[in-house]
Amino acid sequence: MTPRTRPTRRSRSGGARAPRTSPELIAELAFRLTDRDRQILRLVWEHRVLTTQQLADLRFPSLVRAQQRLRVLHLWQALLRFQPWVPVGTAALHWVLGPAGAHVLAVEDGTSVRELGYRQDTALDIAVSSKLSHQVGVNEFFTRLHAYARHRDDGTQLQQWTPERRCASLDGGRVRPDAYGRWSETVSRQGPASVEFFLEHDTGTETLTRVAAKLHGYAAHARTTGHLTPVLFWLPSTAREANLRRLLTDPPVPVATAVHTPDTAREGPAGAVWLPAGVTAPRRRLADLANAWEFTDPEPAPGSDLFTRGP
């Protein structure tokens, strides 16, 4: 179903041009959006950019259904899309919030598009950003967790997924994890096990010395808040993992490492791929990290108003 606007013209490439954003289009969009559509707009805005497959994993029963609905949201200017250049094959479609979608979210939040922080002229900046692959990788980590949980009927779930910018705002920028998560999985007859964590999605662009040095910031965060949160390093190769672990002989906070390789494709980061620092084997499931360390939360700093158990 398309919005009641005059017929769209065809571009030179043969594709239909989306109608201009107008008060009439926004009003009709608000009427026609489903609850799932609104969730999608919120997810794309919150996490900057999501691929078609990631959105399918999050909210659709199949990839085909996702493709069909996303095309409609694009026609309505609720979403914008782009395809990064790749040397071989065709990249997936990537989705960001569109101008009409921003209006909808602003109304829901009781604010203006400007106060929301959305600008149409910069909405697609991530498409040419050097951080694109990193952001997509971070989002892939969490969408794979969500997809895994959707196929379980035992209460397994991704309880929380907080993006980088919200994590930084909660602690004044002392630490900038790529995301914060809380994961719960039923791994035995004893019921669900839950683990919270800060994620560091490593792409190999920083020196390992600098990567390891980030842990001092997490230790300072723990002293301020009075809560010690494990840090998970998601690494691009076994060699880089091995080299990083040589620097993690006595980390100031609980740490575990894993490698995002094809070998982890079936269960992804939920599976038995995690190795706590100071341990050689066996690798543990993400939920099993709940019992991987014995530590006591530090006392919060005097006068601290940041005593929190995560974002």
For the chain (311 residues), the mean pLDDT of every run of 10, in chain order, is: 37 44 75 94 97 97 98 94 91 95 93 93 92 96 95 91 88 85 85 92 96 94 90 96 95 95 76 93 92 70 40 43
- The predicted structure's pLDDT at residue 302: 45
Which stretches within the chain are classed as H helix? 23-32, 35-46, 52-59, 63-75, 99-109, 113-116, 132-150, 164-170, 208-225, 238-245
Q: Could you tell me if 272 and 246 are in contact, meaning their C-beta atoms sit under 8 angstroms apart?
A: no
Please give the distance of CA 273 from its chain centroid, rounded to a whole number.
19
- The predicted structure's pLDDT at residue 49: 97
Which two three-digit tokens encode residue 285? 């499931």
- The predicted structure's pLDDT at residue 20: 64
- What is the pTM for the complete model shown? 0.86
- The Cβ of residue 90 has, within 10 Å, a number of other Cβ atoms equal to 8
- The predicted structure's pLDDT at residue 298: 64
- The Cβ of residue 129 has, within 10 Å, a number of other Cβ atoms equal to 13
Within a 13 Å sphere around the CA of 161, how many CA atoms are in the beta-carbon half?
17
Q: Which of 226, 231, 229 is nearest to 214 (CA)?
A: 231
